[in-house]
Structure 1
Amino acid sequence: METIKQLKETATRAYEETVAKMSSVEISETSGNADFAEERKGWHGYVEWEDYPEKKKLAAAVLAKFKFTPIPEFQLKPLPETNPILIGHRWKEYYQVLGPTMANWPDESWEIVKKEKGEKMIHVLDFPYNGEPPADELMKGKITDNKYHFVRNHGNIPVIEPEEWSVEIGGMVNEPKRLTLHDLKTKFPIVEMTVTLQCSGTRRIEQIHEYPGEGDELINAPWAEGAIGTAKYKGVSLKKVLKYCGGLKDGAQHLEFIGADTYFKKGRVYNYAVSVPWRKVKSNEVLLVWEMNGEPLPLIHGAPVRAVVTGYIGARSCKWLYKINALAHSSMGPVQRQEYLYYNHQLGKHNVKFSNGFSIQDMPVSSAMMFPKEKQVIIHDGKIECQGWAYSGGGRWVERVEVSPDGGHTWFPAAVQNMTTKHYHAWRLWKLEVPTYAEGWIELCVRCWDNANNTEPTFVRSAWNWDLHVTSSSHRVKIYSVNKTYPETAERLRLLKEHGEEFEPITKPVGFAVETPEEYERNVKEIGDREPID
């Protein structure tokens, strides 16, 4: 582990190199304005922005002096076959030009990713870090391993010493307080809850493939089916904490959460801020947690303490939490007011405004087929084993999962015995051997039903929106079906084996004659000549 002095020296070098590369402005002109210092002992990677409007203006002025790397195109052309898939060049540059204190935070964050995440993790964006697990890791069990739980970050990863951490609770509360981690553990009933967190961008890649939309590599990251995970969290109910603070004043309707990470939006700088309605909190559906799957909360997941908002989009579960404000209105932060909005089909680059969309809160019913995979060849005996996940937010739970082998005309249900147990706030994993008679290219699809009888739209077009959120349509997977119970298919498989040939790739021509001349003549004679007789 590097010392603080070494970290500062590395950061200074990174800052000087970036400024020299990006701008003709002399370092001496900007360095006096650009070094935004850390303010609290034991809080590395944290700069307070929300309490200092003038500091935010100064940072915006510094950012305005530079030309940053353009946003990469990743929707109108194939994604890079690399891991990380996308590189957050401009996001790193934002930090680097704001002075030596912040310059090395992107590199430090990546070191935390490498330490805390599994080797097989799919790095969708290296910084701010966005990553999802491969299918085999996600489907290992109802509880997702911390190393393979998805991560959706909006900025750097702060490193806060637990004994130095505290949360300030203010705004429209009757008795504002500052509470330590020790206070949370000793003054309130401790609860454990199994919770699924899901990014609203889960399965976004399907919308991108059909109809591209807004193309910010962070806000609209090209997620596949793995931006979801389930953990058992330990913490306290925010409702109990607010009661300890004397309750809310008349007119308080929302609770704002502010995180220690630094976030950029269109040339301005913020601390991450979101909010949830009081009605959600008073139902004991918002927790302040410090433990994940029996271990201290990992740094990358918001240590020492984060909010966990059950049933809502993951963006509301603020990480590195340090401030809670009771408000009469929802948070004014850009993540709450300008992002995670759901737009009508008619809105896009030509006419969209933030006020046109409604805020995404409860996650709708959704599902995914993790096995088989897209364009996989399946040799089977009339049944294909399918596996996946199904989830519904807002305190609803999945009752039924169905798979169709013919694109959505006929549906077969998964047996209850082949689904994981129900939870108010968690997914169900499922598996099903679906009867399949057709051969060649077929389209499998999955849908689920929750206890409120909600199900998924049939096609992705029904779910499409300009920001490409909430791909809640029936998940469709094209596979190549080979039914070995059919005599002709069984014979072809035998001949391939006899000649030492593999069936895959299916595009590779068979290396031997599929009919002898004698067989051809006999078969043509039986079915008749290819030309009419007159």
Structure 2
Amino acid sequence: MAESKEKHESGLLAPTSYDKEPPRDPSLIINSKTPFNAEPPVGALAQSFITPTPHFYKRNHGPIPILENEEEYRLTIDGLLPHPIKLTLAQLKSLGKEVVVASLMCAGNRRTEMSRLKAVRGVGWGPAAVGNAVWGGVPLSRVLQLAGVSQGAWETHSGGRHVEFVSVDRCKEEKGGPYRASIPLHMATCPDQEVLLAYEMNGEPLPRDHGCPLRAVVPGVIGARSVKWLDRINILADECQGFFQQLDYKMFPPWVDWDNVNWSSRSSIQDFPVQLAVCSPTSKDSIAPGSKVTVKGYALSGGGRKIERVDVSVDGGATWAEAQRLPQEGTHGRWAWTLWSLSAIVNPPCQIIAKCVDVASNTQPERVETIWNLRGVLNNSWFRVDIEPPKARL
């Protein structure tokens, strides 16, 4: 099985086996080996406003593509356009780099909490399928201008209303075809949306796991739309018809199951909802009654909505206190998460509960039962951590 036979017009190789995977940090919690899907220990997330690249969650659908020669890379932009174009990486970089600090989050983040209630299908993500990074690249709106699309346009002259990102990543769900997803044209062409064609992550060239040499970064939107290993961009009249746009990443009510699901009855998910997790302490920590504990975590909301308040209870919801939002969140634009902390006296056995509100007054549902869905997506129920006292020595 020669990898050279899998080379695409973009210059990227799409391996068909897993024998050339990149190295990964040994601290990652592996949820799936082939394809590789992993998240860091949740405690690592609250340690740094910018998530170190090795600790950023890895979401893949097949073997990791390979760029052998940067000079051979080509991005094709085609479809309902006045001027279809093809650009090298050097040409993209010549358009001027912008930097955006943005959190990406898998729609399946916290899926395991739903699966404990009732089985769901999907990778068993804990609460760490999220990260905050510094992305460097060229604004997509600027690139589309070269193809004749005006900034802020809702439709091209030829009727294009959606921007489809196509990867070289091959996945079984697409019957061996490429991973693909789309966003509305007005989101792609609006400079304020800050959609990037990114070639850097945290000041370094994109690593293979995160889309080398070029990926889309769509801030405030579920990670499924920030397509990695870009092969081409298509301007379409209608939304992408790929599996992950039409037969996945849609939100259904709890009474829908695999026997009665109607995928066409629901819209594809774009913005993610207000979300939060407690990173420390965890249920694995034993804490002596009367101990002063610093409760720490992250909070974020989709669509560029910042976090207005984080509420924490250390006694199962009997009393509440407002956590301190750490100062970094107000200095990096509107796409980054908020880290928060609260010092409190804890008396195990007890349950720590945390919830948040964004600037649009969006709140989290109290119970996961009310939002359970067959794919286990968008679990943003109140976050709960059961704390036990140290076991007595016999």
1:336 alignment partner, SS class: helix
Match of residue 359 from structure 2? 451
Match of residue 64 from structure 2? 157
Residues 199 and 215, structure 2, Cα contact 8 Å, conserved in 1 = yes
1:147 alignment partner, SS class: helix
1:234 alignment partner, SS class: strand
Aligned counterpart in structure 2 of residue 205 of structure 1, from 98, 112, 124: 112
Match of residue 75 from structure 2? 167
* Counterpart AA for 2:5: A
Deviations 1:254-281 (A, max 9, x none): 0000001111128x22111100001211
Q: Mapping of 1:339-350 within 5 angstroms?
A: 339-350=248-259
Match of residue 102 from structure 2? 195
Match of residue 228 from structure 1? 130
TM-superposed deviation, 1:166 = 1.1
Deviations 1:286-332 (A, max 9, x none): 11010111100001100000000000000100000010011111111
Q: Mapping of 1:47-446 within 5 angstroms?
A: 103=16, 105-109=17-21, 112=22, 115=23, 117-160=24-67, 161-186=69-94, 188-214=95-121, 220-247=122-149, 248-265=156-173, 268-284=175-191, 285=193, 286-379=195-288, 381=290, 383-416=292-325, 418=326, 420-422=328-330, 423-436=333-346, 439-446=347-354
Deviations 1:375-395 (A, max 9, x none): 532125364321111011111
Partners of 2:204 and 2:81 lie apart in 1 by 32
Deviations 1:68-123 (A, max 9, x none): xxxxxxxxxxxxxxxxxxxxxxxxxxxxxxxxxx55x21212xx1xx2x2121111
Residues 160 and 235, structure 2, Cα contact 8 Å, conserved in 1 = yes
Residues 169 and 325, structure 1, Cα contact 8 Å, conserved in 2 = yes
* Counterpart AA for 2:6: E
Residues 237 and 287, structure 1, Cα contact 8 Å, conserved in 2 = yes
2:304 alignment partner, SS class: coil
1:421 alignment partner, SS class: helix
Greater alpha carbon shift after TM alignment, 298-307 vs 205-214: 205-214
RMSD (Å) for aligned C-alpha atoms:
2.0
Partners of 1:274 and 1:42 lie apart in 2 by 18
* Counterpart AA for 1:478: D
**Structure 1 length normalisation: TM-score?**
0.69
Identity fraction in percent: 35
TM-superposed deviation, 1:41 = 7.8
Deviations 1:30-84 (A, max 9, x none): xxxxxx93244894533xxxxxxxxxxxxxxxxxxxxxxxxxxxxxxxxxxxxxx
Q: Mapping of 1:475-490 within 5 angstroms?
A: 475-480=383-388
* 2:366 aligned with 1:464: no
Partners of 2:138 and 2:317 lie apart in 1 by 44
Residues 218 and 225, structure 2, Cα contact 8 Å, conserved in 1 = yes
2:20 alignment partner, SS class: helix
Residues 408 and 458, structure 1, Cα contact 8 Å, conserved in 2 = no
Match of residue 38 from structure 1? 6
TM-superposed deviation, 1:455 = 1.4
TM-superposed deviation, 1:250 = 4.0
Partners of 2:305 and 2:276 lie apart in 1 by 14
* Counterpart AA for 1:463: I
Greater alpha carbon shift after TM alignment, 141-150 vs 440-449: 440-449
TM-superposed deviation, 1:442 = 1.3
Q: Which has the larger radius of gyration?
A: 1
Q: Which has the higher strand share?
A: 2
TM-superposed deviation, 1:462 = 2.0
Partners of 1:448 and 1:130 lie apart in 2 by 28
Kindly indicate whether structure 1 or structure 2 has the higher relative contact order, using CA contacts under 8 Å at least 6 residues apart: 2
Partners of 2:242 and 2:9 lie apart in 1 by 26
Deviations 1:101-159 (A, max 9, x none): x55x21212xx1xx2x2121111111111110113432221001111110111122111
Residues 289 and 348, structure 2, Cα contact 8 Å, conserved in 1 = no
Partners of 1:136 and 1:408 lie apart in 2 by 23
Count of paired positions: 383
* Counterpart AA for 2:388: Y
* Counterpart AA for 1:430: W
Deviations 1:435-467 (A, max 9, x none): 44xx44211111111111111111111221111
Pair 246,239 (structure 1): closer, same or farther in 2 beyond 3 Å: same
Residues 344 and 357, structure 1, Cα contact 8 Å, conserved in 2 = no
1:410 alignment partner, SS class: coil
1:378 alignment partner, SS class: coil
Partners of 1:237 and 1:375 lie apart in 2 by 43
| Runs of at least 5 residues in structure 2 that lack an aligned partner in the other structure | 150-155
Q: Which has the higher helix share?
A: 1
Deviations 1:476-503 (A, max 9, x none): 111125xxxxxxxxxxxxxxxxxxxxxx
Pair 209,469 (structure 1): closer, same or farther in 2 beyond 3 Å: same
Partners of 2:341 and 2:328 lie apart in 1 by 10
Partners of 1:380 and 1:172 lie apart in 2 by 65
TM-superposed deviation, 1:410 = 2.3
1:182 alignment partner, SS class: helix
Residues 162 and 185, structure 2, Cα contact 8 Å, conserved in 1 = yes
